[in-house]
Amino acid sequence: MNPEEFFEYAKKMKSKMMDLKFVDLLGTWQHCTFCIEDSVMDEKDFESGFGFDGSSIRGWQDIHKSDMMAVPDLSTICMDPFFAAPTISVIANIVDPITRDRYSRDPRYISQKGAQYLKDTGIADTMFIGPEPEFFIFDEVRFEQKQNKSMHEIDSVEGAWNTARFEEPNLGYKPSFKGGYFPVSPTDTLFDIRGEMVAEMQKVGIAIEKHHHEVATAGQTEIDMKYAELTKMCDQFMWYKYICKNIAKRYGKTVTFMPKPIFEDNGSGMHTHVSLWKAGEPLFAGDQYAGLSEMALYAAGGLLAHAAAILAFAAPTANSYHRLVPGFEAPVNLAISARNRSAGIRIPMYTGGPKSKRLEFRCPDPSANGYLAWTAMLMAIIDGINRKLDPGEPLDVDIYHMCSEDEKKVLKVPGSLAEALNALEADQEFLKAGNVITSDLIEGWLEYKRKYELDPLRLRPTPYEFYLYYDC
């Protein structure tokens, strides 16, 4: 679509407003809404862009270099589903107002560079991404952090802890801890909410495969998008979060993509399916282990070799590592396996067709910025293929039945965000190939995460520490 067609579309949709959205470093949408009038906006604005203060965006510009431009990508237009007045939504790319260069810390630019680098290598022309984001739908959340007080409390009508709550009447249909996988109503109370989320996603062009209740009590949910190419899926993931949160608000509920909000129950992961294609043909099907091609095995080798660094982007919060804990159901083992869900990479075996052959990287979670996490995965895959990295022996046994010596031989994911950030600092050259992820972005990411997340967490006692140590 060109600017002239944009104004025709606005007239057709009776829209007088354009909502311009862009993603910040950590993966949150920012927006500004502009009037669509001849006296305010013209076709040249779509080339030059719209100015904003880059120093007010997390992890971006210093104040002395704050001016930035958001340039609309008119291929992304659709009607925003949550504005009362008809409003056109457009995703923007970020440029420098003086040089007109694309901004190195714009996550969307990074995914676009990654997709182009894949083509430039000649290995493939497309990477398809199929994420499975999980999230919780709560009825209430309260939290507070002060010098003399810290607390959090969540609640859900579905919470297993509410079987004795006075609910006028309490009907008792509560998914038990770890008992929420696939129940029908009335235990599953969220079918209509999920259905409305799906309907709004479809309106903005997202193809949905399925939705269901997930394992945890208290409203854990999963909605699966059909696979798409890298940048398109990144854009869709932003819409996904935006729609889920706003539909929940319509119902007086709240959505969180926080990986581990509930103690002693399953956390929310984002198992990510990935495959490479060239000229319309799948490249990951073959006659090797689990029906994979040699290329796919090398791709898995790259993911496993760089997994710790990838998780600095793909499991990017301190809370992520309350989910990735050995001895539970989380995918902490850095190995491949057909069907074994405790392995870091699973090869789904539901169908045997070549087009369905893919790797499922199970370690990421939905707190991730998809533009960065999935591009980092792509760069590891390319490195694995180029260097013919062996993924090692498959983990086709129950990890809980292995002897301790054998179990120790299986490498594990980092145990904390600090470990993942240290791994990224030590292992970043594969990300820089083709100038896809720059030193500037990596340095900015490490600085932000350490200064604004790890250091503040280190300074604060937790309620459980009082439980353990107050009477020492």
**Three-state secondary structure call for residue 348:** coil
Active site residue 271: yes
* Per-residue b or e along 80-90, where b marks 16 or more CB atoms closer than 10 Å to that residue's CB: bbeeeeebbbb
From the list 19, 106, 134, 235, the catalytic residue is 134
From the list 152, 341, 387, 460, the catalytic residue is 341
Burial classification of residue 422, based on how many CB atoms lie within 10 Å of its CB (0-12 exposed, 13-18 middle, 19 or more buried) = middle
From the list 73, 80, 360, 383, the catalytic residue is 360
Q: Specify the residue for token string 């901004």.
A: 103
From the list 213, 271, 306, 346, the catalytic residue is 271
CA 344 to CA 222: how far, in whole Å? 20
Burial classification of residue 45, based on how many CB atoms lie within 10 Å of its CB (0-12 exposed, 13-18 middle, 19 or more buried) = middle
What are 381's two structure tokens? 């895959």
Element spanning 429, H or E: helix 429-432
Active site residue 360: yes
CA 242 to CA 248: how far, in whole Å? 10
Q: Helices in 176-256 by DSSP H: which ranges?
A: 191-203, 230-250
From the list 24, 106, 200, 222, the catalytic residue is 222
Active site residue 341: yes
Between the alpha carbon of residue 373 and those of residues 11, 186, 307, 318, 447, the distances in Å are 38, 37, 11, 16, 17
From the list 105, 362, 383, 453, the catalytic residue is 362
Can the peptide bond before residue 366 be classed as cis, meaning omega within 30 degrees of 0? no
Report the largest interatomic distance among the alpha carbons of the chain, rounded to a whole angstrom. 74
From the list 4, 37, 53, 140, the catalytic residue is 53
From the list 19, 188, 214, 235, the catalytic residue is 214
Overall size of the chain counted in residues: 472
Q: What are phi and psi of 90, to 5 degrees?
A: -135, 135
Whether 300 and 363 have beta carbons less than 8 Å apart is answered as no
Beta bridge partners of 374: none
From the list 24, 106, 132, 265, the catalytic residue is 132
Other C-beta atoms within 10 Å of 252: how many? 8
Whether 225 and 209 have beta carbons less than 8 Å apart is answered as yes
Active site residue 134: yes
Element spanning 221, H or E: strand 220-225
Active site residue 222: yes
DSSP secondary structure, 105-140, as one string:
T-HHHHHHHHHHHHHHHTS-SEEEEEEEEEEEEESE
- What is the set of active-site residues? 53, 132, 134, 214, 222, 271, 341, 360, 362
